[in-house]
A and B are shown apart, each in its own frame.
Chain A
Amino acid sequence: MSGHEFKDAYDVVVVGAGAAGLAAAAEIARAGLDTLLVDENAGPGGQIYRAITTTPVRKREILGDEFWNGAALVDEVRSSGASVTQTATVWSLDADLMLGISWGGRSRNVSARRVVVATGAMERPFPIPGWILPGVMTAGAVQTLLKSSGLLPAGRTVVAGTGPLLWLLSAQILRAGGAIDAILDTTPRGSLTRALPYASGFLLSPLFAKGLALRSEVMRKVRVVRHVTELVAAGGDKLETVTFATRQGAKATLPADALLLHQGVVPNTMLAMAAGVAHRWDERQLCWSPVLDQDGRSSIEGIFVAGDGAGIAGALAAELRGRLAGLAVVRDLRPGYESSETQSIRQKLQREERARPFLDVMFQPPREMRAPADDTIVCRCEEVTAGEVRKAARLGCAGPNQLKAFLRTGMGPCQGRLCGLTLTELLAEANGVAPGEVGHLRVRPPVKPISLSELAEMPVSEAATKAVVRG
């Protein structure tokens, strides 16, 4: 939708039009509540269903059924009565349920009686030497280029890391006619043994068969090096080579124009943290997840978190969580409204989540690629190395917020998105305490920068100056 004018207030604002946000908005709007779904991208779909309505990729098998399934969700929202606004950036959310939204170069405050944060996942930081070089990108970035623009890497391409998405992307590149020189699998030795205790849930899941098929599809066509360590990207003004150590300890170097990195995804917690939602350290997923009840209700009254932003569980689980949060919002605001579905959605969600523990443990990235060696840059914006962080820890720096004053880590434009988890793990390791005790970077709004002019010209609505009544 374009040319959209925002109202000062809605019953519900849903942030993010991925699987969870689409499902939540559909459930809520269908119940007759005034619902705004805002999303930062050009079209709905989030990351998994990115460009679902516009992709120029015509051959359906390239992206696979899991991708095309997203179309039904978009249709569902379109017939639900929700207002949908794309290319709108939510740069602030607070405990008053006041949002700051930028659209079309202008910002405004919008208030809501309930907010569903469905901001999804982002790829886990992958700090290796040389990861700042042009030519080094995330696997997800290349998947985005393929889905939105029909672009494929053209030069010598190396894929490195661990996790299901690594194999999915590789398969998609190959199906589209692209080439991959090598896959450097960083899954550490012993991962399978560690994951076996969780295998029963996984073996029953359809993900098991799909995962195996994907893997063998790729391995037939590409050289795969397993148990890779000491991954290094090198080059002058751009990537030239990728060096790594093999299981036998031998060093090898590949010439490369593109290195596609991936070691799993983690919740994108920026907006929820900015609002003050309590988070806890997830020992298995090695990331921060919001503290939620079974419907996605957070520690801040009126704010729900749904989808992978609530903890990584994949697209189908995200959709189900979106529905549960949506139905809970409806129960809050329409006390008489009955839905018989809640129980069956919960059961489906449990089945989806059953496969997770195995995947989490199996593809837990190795420590050396989460808390890297001293000379590796961990904060890309301010170019701070792991060694500098460790040194600050030795000087008595206990947490990432204290670190900011000394090293400016997390104070650049990305606001710690690409260093936050690394800082927590580095400080935990250096100080010999649990990551959960070290804490996370305090997220300050705006979670995306806005120009001074845009703020200066922001209309201040009546609603924005009054305390918002909820209930």
Chain B
Amino acid sequence: MFKRLPDCPATAVILTVDGRAIEAREGDSVAAALLAAGFAQTRQSAVSQSPRAPYCMMGVCFECMVTVDGVANRQGCMVPVREGMRIETLRGRREISA
């Protein structure tokens, strides 16, 4: 759904999302990396389990909450990617894990 500008020099960063390796670029937030890699959904809503994806990209909507390196409920749009980062989306799970 998103493509990179052709002349965008940025270092590649590898992270895993639900166990699958994806390539992101330095400067991406976790949510941007997910969108760039074609993930259509970051979580399911707590009430009706409806699919949700990043909406505001500025820390307002909380639709991009994911687990980052074992820490649940991080706003994906506020966390810069790092090499080797482990992301788990909340697909099929409640809004937070205990």
Contact = CB atoms under 8 A, between A and B. Distances in A.
Q: Do chains A and B touch in the complex (CB under 8 A)?
A: yes
Given A41-B78, A54-B27, A413 B65 contact: yes
Contacts of A137: 53-57
Contacts of B62: 381, 412-414
A42 B58 contact: no
A258 interface: yes
Contacts of A152: 2-5
Interface string B35-77: 1100011000111101111111111111101000001110101
B25 A149 contact: yes
A103 to B, nearest CB: 12
A59 to B, nearest CB: 8
Contacts of B9: 56, 58
Interface in A109-158: 122-123, 132-138, 140-142, 144-145, 148-155
B29 A148 contact: yes
Contacts of B47: 382-383
Contacts of B71: 105, 451
Main secondary structure on A side of the interface with B: loop
A176 interface: yes
B51 A138 contact: no
B45 A151 contact: no
A57 interface: yes
Contact of B46 (A105, A134, A155, A412): A412
Place the interface of chain A in its size category: 35 or more
Nearest to A121: B58
B56 A138 contact: yes
Contacts of B55: 136-138, 141, 380
A412 B48 CA distance: 14
A51 B27 contact: yes
A148 B60 CA distance: 17
A381 B96 CA distance: 13
Contact of B59 (A40, A135, A237, A412): A40
Given A87-B80, A151-B36, A451-B71, A135 B58 contact: no
Nearest to A138: B56
Contacts of A448: 59, 75
A55 B5 CA distance: 12
B60 A414 contact: yes
A268 interface: yes
B2 A154 contact: yes
Given A134-B41, A381-B46, A144 B58 contact: yes
Contacts of B4: 149-152
A238 interface: yes
Interface string A224-239: 0000000000000110
Interface in A434-452: 448-449, 451
A257 B45 contact: no
A120 B29 CA distance: 20
Contacts of B63: 380
A404 to B, nearest CB: 15
B45 A153 contact: no
A257 B57 contact: no
A148 B73 contact: no
A418 interface: yes
B32 interface: yes
B1 A153 contact: yes
A89 interface: yes
A132 B51 CA distance: 8
A3 interface: no
A145 B54 CA distance: 11
Task: Please give me the 6 A-B residue pairs with the lowest Cβ-Cβ distance, nearest first.
Answer: A134-B53, A141-B57, A150-B8, A56-B8, A150-B5, A413-B62
10 contacts: A41-B78, A42-B80, A123-B60, A134-B53, A141-B57, A142-B57, A149-B10, A149-B25, A177-B5, A380-B61
